[in-house]
């Protein structure tokens, strides 16, 4: 039976740990130029309706290094752009490819592709969730703070800024692993309530998730602090209103000083220096931002193996 990865709840906590264990191996082997072709003859279809640097390149390079092939498809270069139903596209691509990555706006697009596709569909980003990114973020935490950081009672997490797809996926990941997460969001920019409710119902009972209104409340004593742009793709027209709403939310050195002495900084990129994060924090010694970006490749290779390897 085929499986999809649209949400972290499509995985178990043990499966996430197995993905990370395999990531350790894949990253080490790549550093020694010992690539494993575990997906020979496998093809990944990539439907991208949103612009991308890290998601596109990491999936394409990942498939190449695993011995497979990726086919990049943009909306206007396919019949989707001329109105072909998603259910038709899903079944056609499923006949050609062994898996599909979709990067789109509405989460319902990913859900419909998954419903009709005979092969696994992986969420490369929707407006609701960004699971592959947050899996890479979590792995980066493990890499820097140790495996115990991702166990209940381990590292304490903070999200600073918009309650967007990244915030929603942090909620899911922390709920699945039983972690403590505080999100600082301005009034009116909270995470999706259905995501919060699902995390409460499906998450580990040891999970602690709370929402506060000021960054300092979230940052105080935290081990992992993550942020993102204030206006995501498709929200450019809201830039002025969002800039006003997020006044006081810039992640600067004073805010970082409130965190744990071992605190690490994450940002999924692209970053607007001087807006949601300062140059000093982004480029400082506590920043893991560029390791985080690189780890998209290694984590997604482990995910691709899990979903696309011959059974």
Averaged over successive runs of 10 residues, the pLDDT of the chain (311 residues) comes to: 96 98 98 98 97 97 98 89 92 98 97 98 98 98 98 98 98 98 97 98 97 98 98 81 95 98 98 97 98 98 97 80
Which CATH code for domain 8-129+296-308?
3.40.50.1370
Q: What counts of helices (H) and strands (E) characterise the chain?
A: 12, 9
Residue in 42, 54, 133, 300 annotated catalytic: 133
Q: Please confirm, yes or no, whether 240 is among the known catalytic residues.
A: no
Chosen CATH of 133-292 out of 3.30.565.10, 3.40.50.920, 2.40.128.20, 3.40.50.1370? 3.40.50.1370
* Backbone φ, ψ for residue 150 (5° rounding): -100, 15
Question: Given this model, what pLDDT does residue 76 score?
Answer: 83
83 to each of 88, 121, 229, how far by Cα in Å? 11, 20, 31
Tell me the two tokens of residue 287: 């920043």
Q: How many residues does the chain have?
A: 311
Q: Please confirm, yes or no, whether 239 is among the known catalytic residues.
A: no
Would you kindly state where each structural domain of the chain is located, as residue ranges? 8-129+296-308, 133-292
Query: What's the CA angle centered on 132, arms 53 and 112, to 5 degrees?
Result: 95
Question: Given this model, what pLDDT does residue 237 score?
Answer: 83
Question: Given this model, what pLDDT does residue 294 score?
Answer: 98
Question: Given this model, what pLDDT does residue 77 score?
Answer: 82
Q: Please confirm, yes or no, whether 258 is among the known catalytic residues.
A: no
Question: Given this model, what pLDDT does residue 80 score?
Answer: 84
188 to each of 96, 171, 217, how far by Cα in Å? 44, 18, 18
Question: Given this model, what pLDDT does residue 79 score?
Answer: 87
Task: Please give the Cα distance from 77 to 89 (Å, whole number).
Answer: 13
Residue 193: its H or E element: helix 193-202
Cβ contact 16:135 at 8 Å: yes
Do the domains 8-129+296-308 and 133-292 sit in the same CATH topology, yes or no?
yes
Residue in 268, 292, 298, 300 annotated catalytic: 268
Question: Given this model, what pLDDT does residue 66 score?
Answer: 98
Question: Given this model, what pLDDT does residue 147 score?
Answer: 98
Question: Given this model, what pLDDT does residue 238 score?
Answer: 86
């Amino acid at each position: 039976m085929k499986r999809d990865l649209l949400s972290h709840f499509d995985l178990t906590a043990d499966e996430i740990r197995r993905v990370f264990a395999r990531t350790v191996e894949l990253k080490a082997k790549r550093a020694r130029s010992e690539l494993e072709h575990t997906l020979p003859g496998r093809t990944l279809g990539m439907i991208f309706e949103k612009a991308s640097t890290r998601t596109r390149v990491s999936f394409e390079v990942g498939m190449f290094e695993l011995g497979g092939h990726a086919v990049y498809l943009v909306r206007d270069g396919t019949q989707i752009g001329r109105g072909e139903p998603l259910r038709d596209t899903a079944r056609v691509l499923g006949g050609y490819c062994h898996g599909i990555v979709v990067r789109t706006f509405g989460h319902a697009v990913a859900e419909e592709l998954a419903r009709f596709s005979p092969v696994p569909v992986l969420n490369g980003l929707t407006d609701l969730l960004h699971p592959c990114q947050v899996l890479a973020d979590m792995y980066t935490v493990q890499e820097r703070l140790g495996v115990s950081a991702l166990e209940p009672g381990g590292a304490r997490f903070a999200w600073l800024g918009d309650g967007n797809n990244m915030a929603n996926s942090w909620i899911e990941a922390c709920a699945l692993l039983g972690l403590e997460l505080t999100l600082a969001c301005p009034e009116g920019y909270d995470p999706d309530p259905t995501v919060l409710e699902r995390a409460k119902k499906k998450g580990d009972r040891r999970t602690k998730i709370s929402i506060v209104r000021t960054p300092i409340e979230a940052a105080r004593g935290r081990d992992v602090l993550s942020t993102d742009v204030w206006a995501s793709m498709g929200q450019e027209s809201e830039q002025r209103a969002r800039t006003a709403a997020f006044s006081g939310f810039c992640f600067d050195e004073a805010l970082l000083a409130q965190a744990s002495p071992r605190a690490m900084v994450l940002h999924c990129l692209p970053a607007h220096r001087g807006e949601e994060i300062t140059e000093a924090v982004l480029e400082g010694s506590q920043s893991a931002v560029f390791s985080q970006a690189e780890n998209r490749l290694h984590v997604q290779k482990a995910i691709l193996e899990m979903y696309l390897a011959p059974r």
